[in-house]
Structure 1
Amino acid sequence: MSDVNLIRNLSTLVALRNSELEKLQTAQAAKEATAERYRKTLERLHGLATSSGPSGSLPLALAANCGAYKQAVLAMADSHRLDLTMHEADMAVSQRALNAAYVKREVLGQVLDRKQQVVTSAKHVQERKVHDDLATQLWLRSQK
């Protein structure tokens, strides 16, 4: 495979890795926003449970109703806490995938840079050789 084709293929791979990286970053940002919504919902549920007041000072029917309400809100908060924990675990897995994609992209970028440097260096050597040949021909002609 010629150097030009190799560089073009490596450039395409780097571009693909960049798009994969951007996609993973977008997904991670969306997951972080979801986690933040879970946290805010948990704060609101805690506020609902504490703002309903003490149920012991109320008449029996109202106290039972208030107790059931608090119990339901606390159960919902527990469910959300569990969902948040699972979501954070999923975010950790996604973060590892994001890190791996970043490393792959960086490695390919470094390979591309090195190959471009090799090709550029080879071009410069070729150009110097041509200039040296021309200079030699010019010198030989001036000797005649």
Structure 2
Amino acid sequence: MKPHDPAPSLSRLAALREREVERRQTELAQQLADAERRRRNQERLDQLWRTSTTTGTLTPQLSLNCANYKQTVLELADRHRDDLSRQEQAVDQARLALLTATRRHGAIDQVLTLRLQEHDRVLRSAEQKRQDEIARQSWLRRGT
């Protein structure tokens, strides 16, 4: 904020919107990292149940144990798939929130920029008038 800010409340609002954008960026980054972690876990679980096969040389008890293990891993993978789906929805919501915050900040920033430009024009005009008046008075003094 400038010392003689013509729109202090608008400047504060722009700063708040900027912080909101930063916060939304952080949230999105966290959501993306969590989604990636869940994706890797899902891949590991899928790999586990694919590689857990039984051979014909196992005893019936061991075959049953392997089948139960595979079924448990499949159920866990299915639950993780549901969690991943919810996480991807959360990522989409975080992206939308970031987009909304960015648009809101951009709109406020644009209004603030226009106000500051107008304020600068008024200051330049006042300075030009002051300089013109000094020149006029100087010219009048020289003429007498």
Task: Output the TM-score relative to the length of structure 2.
Answer: 0.91
Aligned residues of 2:14 and 2:108 also touching (Cα < 8 A): yes
- Paired with 2:56 and 2:11, the residues of 1 have a C-alpha distance of 71
Which residue pairs with 1:17 in the alignment?
17
- Paired with 1:21 and 1:56, the residues of 2 have a C-alpha distance of 60
Which residue pairs with 1:121 in the alignment?
121
The CA deviation string for residues 103-136 of structure 1, in whole angstroms up to 9 with x for no partner, is 1111111111111110001000000001111111
Which residue pairs with 1:52 in the alignment?
52
- Paired with 1:92 and 1:114, the residues of 2 have a C-alpha distance of 33
Which residue pairs with 1:30 in the alignment?
30
Which residue pairs with 1:40 in the alignment?
40
Which residue pairs with 1:8 in the alignment?
8
The CA deviation string for residues 15-38 of structure 1, in whole angstroms up to 9 with x for no partner, is 111111111111111111111111
Moved over 3 A (4+): none
- The aligned length equals 141
- Paired with 1:50 and 1:12, the residues of 2 have a C-alpha distance of 57
From the superposition, tell whether residues 32 and 71 of structure 1 become closer, same or farther in structure 2 (CA, over 3 Å).
same
Q: Please tell me the root mean square deviation across aligned C-alpha atoms, in Å.
A: 1.4
Aligned residues of 2:6 and 2:119 also touching (Cα < 8 A): no
What pairs up with 1:72-111 in 2 under 5 angstroms? 72-111=72-111
Aligned residues of 1:57 and 1:63 also touching (Cα < 8 A): no
- Paired with 2:48 and 2:138, the residues of 1 have a C-alpha distance of 93
Task: Give the unaligned 5+ runs of structure 1.
Answer: none
- Paired with 2:9 and 2:19, the residues of 1 have a C-alpha distance of 15
Moved more, 98-107 or 133-142: 133-142
Q: Which amino acid aligns with 1:71?
A: Q
Q: Does 1:131 align with 2:134?
A: no
